[in-house]
A and B are shown apart, each in its own frame.
Chain A
């Protein structure tokens, strides 16, 4: 059995490079008829100003739930946060009252969602939905709010912004709708933007444009960006760091290039190998065998063990810490060395 000391809570080091936002040992559970679903089990990650953190994982891995816990937009009940912290510039958001909390939403931390059509209110014009940010948060007049909405629509490059101010969401294309979401999210110059699968519902060409826009907006404002996705292709160009989640836990945590060069967790490796590549044309595409874990009944050991080609007997029974495997890397696999070496099961 490998015994490397577990990685301490991620990114708690002080100094000038103090993180903007840290998630520490976060647990989220949902009470359902079938029982308690442990959607997030001790997730930790950190985001610095100007940095892009990609959170990667399949449906049900807990990546969106973590983001919603950061925003404070989980429905409680059924959701419950029994343990953990979300620190924003040192303040633990989870300890704040709902009133104090809402001061952060939209102003300092904002969020965009996967499906912009359903995320925009169908009965209000886009101008009023963007302008609302200024009216409610800054108390500006309706007229000024409209003027600033036009500026924002120009900034996210919606053609003919002034004429389209009074159009409704359904009158825009998918890409334009997501631009409107982005305009709303960056209205008040937030320090952190969480993008929850922002391109999943879009055409491939539009996906690239939206990612470009996000990168550009981030460059200009210096905000931290948390990019939640299940698409490895999206991540490579824009992310600085990657957090890979599986079964409500972080299984790998590393700078983006390290992950692409040499993944340190069997799940990450599986994900990379299941991306279609031109140089492997003609060969059968790799697929990770088995099914995602049942969050109602999690094994005491590694959640990925049933699907893992590196599995040993102790994987199922021994809890796996996030092993520190480098200065800025972590892997939640007892056999990360074998994975790193590229040996294949």
Chain B
């Protein structure tokens, strides 16, 4: 197990290097001049432009620029924005917001998705099951952009107008966990729908297994048959999905954070791409890749805990 862990962590290094190189290249290839965009409508001063270009190695070829960046990263220096702010400083504060948002969404996804899937599976073929299947399908087909604005309007604005109490804040993070509820639900929406369907299918399949028949033949009560014998087996693929989805949720935060004006890395990423802040973009994306790698590693380790047939060495 220990050796497996070390091997997996070592494997993460080339993945991270590859990811940074790729992102660096993509941002490099974007049309437009970052220095020019700093001046906006104003006339550019040739001398200042040259100083800035020199300072940020913008006149060097691509691979040299990348080398400057990555060697800095290994020394703990993630670079500065054109305004001179440390990238690590920008990311640190905003990363916490996005992490809060993504984890709130993940918990919602797990609880609602598994719960609803379980409910539908136990009522397979009946009206409640059909209702769950139909509504999740609808949820999957509506883009986050739409659910975001609609829920913001209905549960945020209209609810407050009709009751006089603000239950779900519509913007910012000043209300602690409460500020995250609505955005997290919007962010998790599609995932909840997928997980519900996945749980249902998995459980229906598992309930047909021979060992479930054995458990019934052993005279086990229904609650134990479902809650222990079936659920424990059905959970295994769900954990994989949830783990992989953490990365998707953090990536998906770009839209949600923009709608609800949450100062997270999603919003920052969006702005940085717009402003060609190469070090910020690469820093954020690298961080996302890292989260993704770690989440997958945890999933793989959990797999061995949940399924005794899997052993790592």
Q: Which residues of A contact B (CB under 8 A)?
A: 71, 73, 102-107, 110-111, 113, 115, 118-125, 132-133, 136-137, 168, 170, 181, 184
Instruction: Give Cα distance in the complex from A73 to B211, angstroms.
Output: 12
B233 and A73 contacting across the interface, CB-CB below 8 Å: no
Instruction: Give Cα distance in the complex from A122 to B306, angstroms.
Output: 10
A-B contact pairs, 16 of them (CB 8 A): A73-B216, A102-B219, A104-B219, A107-B219, A113-B214, A115-B210, A119-B214, A121-B229, A121-B232, A123-B236, A123-B307, A125-B308, A132-B218, A136-B219, A184-B214, A184-B218
B307 and A71 contacting across the interface, CB-CB below 8 Å: no
**Chain B residues with CB below 8 A from A121, complex form:** 211, 214-215, 229, 232-233
Does B209 have its Cβ within 8 Å of any Cβ on chain A? yes
Select one of A105, A120, A136 contacting B217, CB under 8 A: A105
Instruction: Give Cα distance in the complex from A122 to B308, angstroms.
Output: 8
Instruction: Give Cα distance in the complex from A102 to B221, angstroms.
Output: 8
Instruction: Give Cα distance in the complex from A125 to B229, angstroms.
Output: 12
**Chain A residues with CB below 8 A from B216, complex form:** 73, 105
In the complex formed, the residue of A with least CB distance to B232 is: A123
Known: A110-B218, A136-B220. A120 touches B308 (CB 8 A): no
B217 and A123 contacting across the interface, CB-CB below 8 Å: no
**Interface range on chain B: under 10, 10 to 19, 20 to 34, or 35 or more?**
20 to 34
A170 and B217 contacting across the interface, CB-CB below 8 Å: no
Given A106-B219, A120-B214, 10 new contacts (CB under 8 A): A102-B219, A106-B220, A110-B218, A119-B213, A121-B211, A122-B233, A122-B309, A123-B308, A125-B308, A136-B224
Q: Which residues of B contact A (CB under 8 A)?
A: 209-211, 213-221, 224, 229, 232-233, 236, 306-309
A106 and B211 contacting across the interface, CB-CB below 8 Å: no
**Chain A residues with CB below 8 A from B213, complex form:** 73, 113, 119
Known: A73-B213, A113-B210. A122 touches B307 (CB 8 A): yes
Instruction: Give Cα distance in the complex from A73 to B213, angstroms.
Output: 7
In the complex formed, the residue of B with least CB distance to A99 is: B221
Known: A118-B209, A119-B214, A122-B233. A136 touches B221 (CB 8 A): yes
Instruction: Give Cα distance in the complex from A105 to B224, angstroms.
Output: 15
Closest 10 CB pairs of A and B: A106-B219, A105-B219, A118-B210, A121-B211, A106-B218, A168-B308, A111-B217, A119-B210, A119-B214, A73-B216
**Chain A residues with CB below 8 A from B218, complex form:** 105-106, 110, 132-133, 184
Instruction: Give Cα distance in the complex from A103 to B218, angstroms.
Output: 10
Q: Chain A nearest CB: distance from B220 CB in Å?
A: 6
Instruction: Give Cα distance in the complex from A102 to B216, angstroms.
Output: 8
**Chain B residues with CB below 8 A from A168, complex form:** 308-309
**Chain B residues with CB below 8 A from A103, complex form:** 219
In the complex formed, the residue of B with least CB distance to A102 is: B219
Q: Chain A nearest CB: distance from B264 CB in Å?
A: 38
In the complex formed, the residue of A with least CB distance to B213 is: A73
Instruction: Give Cα distance in the complex from A125 to B232, angstroms.
Output: 13
**Chain B residues with CB below 8 A from A115, complex form:** 210
Instruction: Give Cα distance in the complex from A137 to B220, angstroms.
Output: 8
Select one of A111, A123, A137, A170 contacting B306, CB under 8 A: A123
Q: Chain A nearest CB: distance from B46 CB in Å?
A: 70
**Chain B residues with CB below 8 A from A71, complex form:** 217
Instruction: Give Cα distance in the complex from A220 to B217, angstroms.
Output: 23
